[in-house]
Structure 1
Amino acid sequence: MPATPREHTRTYFLGKLAVELERHGLTTTLRADPPALRISHPDTALLAETVDCVPLPDGWFYRWSWGELVGVADDPALAATRIVHVLGRR
Structure 2
Amino acid sequence: MTPDDTGTAASVKTGIEYLEELGDELVERGLRVRLTLPRGQAPSLHVMNPDASALTENILAEQGADGWWYWWSWAERIAPTGDAAAAADRVALVLAVH
TM-score, normalised by the number of residues in structure 2: 0.81
Displaced runs of 4 or more, over 6 A: none
The aligned amino acid for 1:62 is: Y
Instruction: Give the CA deviation at 1:83.
Output: 0.5
Separation in 1 of the partners of 2:84 and 2:65?
19
The aligned amino acid for 1:26 is: L
RMSD: 1.0
Matched residue, 2:82: 74
Q: Tell me which of 11, 19, 22 is aligned to 1:14.
A: 19
Matched residue, 2:47: 39
Percent sequence identity over matched residues?
A: 35
Q: Unpaired segments of 5 or more residues in structure 1?
A: 1-7
- Relative to its length, the structure with more helix (as a share) is 1
TM-score, normalised by the number of residues in structure 1: 0.88
Cα distance per residue 1:25-80 (max 9 Å; x no partner) = 00000001331000000112210000001101111000000000000001100000
Q: Unpaired segments of 5 or more residues in structure 2?
A: 1-12
- Relative to its length, the structure with more strand (as a share) is 1
